[in-house]
Every structure is written in C-alpha cells, then in structure tokens.
Structure 1
C-alpha cells in the first residue's frame, strides 16, 4: 500500500542541497528547475559536468562548489537530494540528514529516501504528481505521457475561469463548495468533450 503523503514544496522559499554533478545530478537539477525555476539549490560535487555548469550559470538561485562533500554542507539546508554512485558517502549523508531532521532523497535507492521525486504532468497552472511508491519510475513516466496527451491545453483557461468564479462567489464555505462542485460536475465527462468537437 502506498502510504506516501503528496505535498507540493515551494523550493524558492527553502534551501536545497544537491550532491552529485554528473548525468543523474543533471537530471535532478533539470527536474527541479522545470518545476521551480526560482529554486534555491547549492550543488556540491568533486566533478561537475559542463551541462550542469551551464544550468548553474544560467540561474540566479543556483550555486555550485566543485569539491568533495563536507559535513558542513548540510548546515542551514532544508532538503537534500543525492545523485552520487558512492554508497559510503550516501550512507554518511543519510546519517547527517537524520541527525538534523533534513528530508533526504537518494537517486535509485528508495530504501534510503524520505521522499520521492515523482513524474509530473504540467498544463499551465495544473500540476499532477505521479508516484509508484518507488517501485517503477518507468510506469510513472508512461502515465505522465498518457495524462499529458489526454488533458487539453485549454485546461489552464478553465482554471483561470474557475478561480475567478470562486473569488466572486457569495455565501459560506459549504455553499461555495456546493456551487463549485455543481459547476464542474460534468467537466470531464465524454459528453462534455464531444460537445467541444
């Protein structure tokens, strides 16, 4: 049973440490920036690939230290992502993170993770996170592609209209919920899509 609690984190308001500057580090950094372009990330790696250096140079919220990890790197950090293939280093940072109550993600090591980086479907302001509880990133990726194709690009316009409607509704909370539910009841039915064609 998947007992993960889904949350959406404002990475521009917290400090993230990314350890690893190779292809996996690049993948994690691209995912961070795709979802949170203003994220505050400090990257530490003994060797930083050129593509990673380009990303760091092109974003005001990113900084990098091309050197070995130091225990002090975790000071003042809220979130840690490890993208190294060094099990000894990963285990050491895991212990540091536990001691300081810092949430940790270790690439391809679900047993060491406090949280997972799921696949994300984005259509404007709509964001859908997909988790397989760390069991199959490939299935999560396929589901992302499926939902990306399924959801219309116009969904963002609908979200704006719904936001305006919600802001102009009168009455108590329960009445607002009832009216919004009534308004969106048939939104995803096949008949609604057929009427648009």
Structure 2
C-alpha cells in the first residue's frame, strides 16, 4: 500500500473535536480541507485554516465539487448528529477514500460506523475521560492507550525496581510488562536495557496490557 503520511486530509465537521484536529494538522504542516455545514463556524476558523468551506457534508454532489474524491485520508468529526455522521461516513466509503477516521459518541454509534466502512473509529470523550481518571488517581504521570488492550504509561519506578538491574527485577515475568525508556535527573530519555538500574528520581515509560499496567501502577 502507498505511503500517504504527507498527503492532505479532509476534515468533515468542525465541532470541538474536528476544529481542534484541523488546527493541529495545519500547525504540523499538513494541508487540510475543513468542511462544515454552518457558515458561522467556517467563518470563525477561516483565518486559521487555509481551506475552510461551508457545505452540506451529507450531499454527495457537494463532496464531489469540493474535490473530496481526490483525498486519500478523511476524518468525520461530526458527533452529536449521529444521522449526519453515519451518512457522511457512508458517502466517503462510496467515494472509496482509502483511510477514513470517524468520531463516535457511543459504542453503538461506533459499531455502526465500523460496519458501514470506517477504517478507524475514535471515542475522544471516553478516551480522554479514561486517561484523566488514571492521572487523577495520582499513580501515573501520563497514560496513553496504543490499542484497545495495551497502553504505555509514564510513572515513577516502584520501590522494588530501584537499585537493581531490570534483569534482576524480573519486571517482565512478574508483571508482563516492558520498561521501554528511562528519564534520569538530567532530563534525557534513554533506551532501557536488561542492565539498566533505576533510581527513585527516574521516570520510566512502561508498555503492556492495560490490566497489567494498572496492577503495576497500583504497586507503586
């Protein structure tokens, strides 16, 4: 499959999620075509986005006139209007867009988007709520899911990992986790090896299954 990482992206729906995504992509140097049916929303963002257009996102002819079929990546950021979200996604599928991302506001909504052909379904409110819950608990410094079953977390090393090598700590056999990287007091991250010795002041990045990661953090 061709590499489309540097190709432009069409973002449909400029609510909080869609507008934040479009602005972030633009800031990173990605060309963005932002589309929303509300002229006032488009006008408010037109100064920050190169291509912001008011159009009916659920009208096939409108999408064709905007050149949407020429894009390989598209994001449907419509959330609360589930009917429009599903219809816009189905039109992108019909246009044979190669990489379609769609926002869902519920598991049922997400299942429908997946069934009609969205390649990636995201749950921004749920995912952010889960991440913040982990951070508020105070055990983790950061938490990011890398897929539905695995996460990478940033935290201070538990007491039983300090002062011994990672090989001796048997962190992988005891917790089913991998210590990926270590940040020392000098502020630099370095790749963790079996001979790495952790200090109380270090910060570590750990990768593993979510249940194992949570169990590991709870031992801290």
Cα deviation per residue 1:137-190 (whole Å; 9 max; x = unaligned)? Answer: 4213455773276485934xx46xxxxxxxxxxxxxxxxxxxxx7xx4158753
Name the SS of the counterpart of 1:68 in structure 2. coil
Larger fraction in helix: 1
Q: Does 1:39 align with 2:30?
A: yes
Q: 2:126 matched to 1:114?
A: no
Question: Structure 2 length as normaliser, TM-score?
Answer: 0.48
Show CA shifts across 1:47-76 (max 9, x none): 2556x75655235xx411122232314211
Could you tell me which of 51, 56, 69 is aligned with 1:68? Answer: 56
Number of residues of Structure 1 aligned to a counterpart in Structure 2: 141
State the partner residue of 2:199. Answer: 191
The aligned residue for residue 103 of structure 1 is: 99
Instruction: Give the superposition deviation at 1:31.
Output: 4.8
Flag the structure with higher strand content: 2
**TM (normalized to structure 1)?**
0.52
Query: Alpha carbon RMSD of aligned pairs, Å?
Result: 4.0
Q: String of CA shifts for 1:66-123, please: whole Å, max 9, x gaps.
A: 222323142111121112233333223322322314322222242214214588xxxx
The change in CA–CA distance for 1:32 and 1:186 in structure 2 (over 3 A counts) is farther
- What residue is the counterpart of 2:20 in the other structure? 27
| Distance in 2 of aligned mates of 1:31 and 1:187 | 39
For residues 24-66 of structure 1, the C-alpha deviation after alignment (integer angstroms, 9 at most, x for no partner) is 3223334545xx611111011122556x75655235xx41112
Q: Kindly indicate whether the alpha-carbon contact (under 8 Å) linking 1:25 and 1:83 is maintained by their aligned counterparts in 2.
A: yes
Cα 1:185–1:24 change in 2 (3 A) is closer
- Structure 2, unmatched stretches of 5+, are 144-153, 156-181, 203-220
In the aligned structure 1, how far is the partner of 2:71 from the partner of 2:133?
Answer: 33
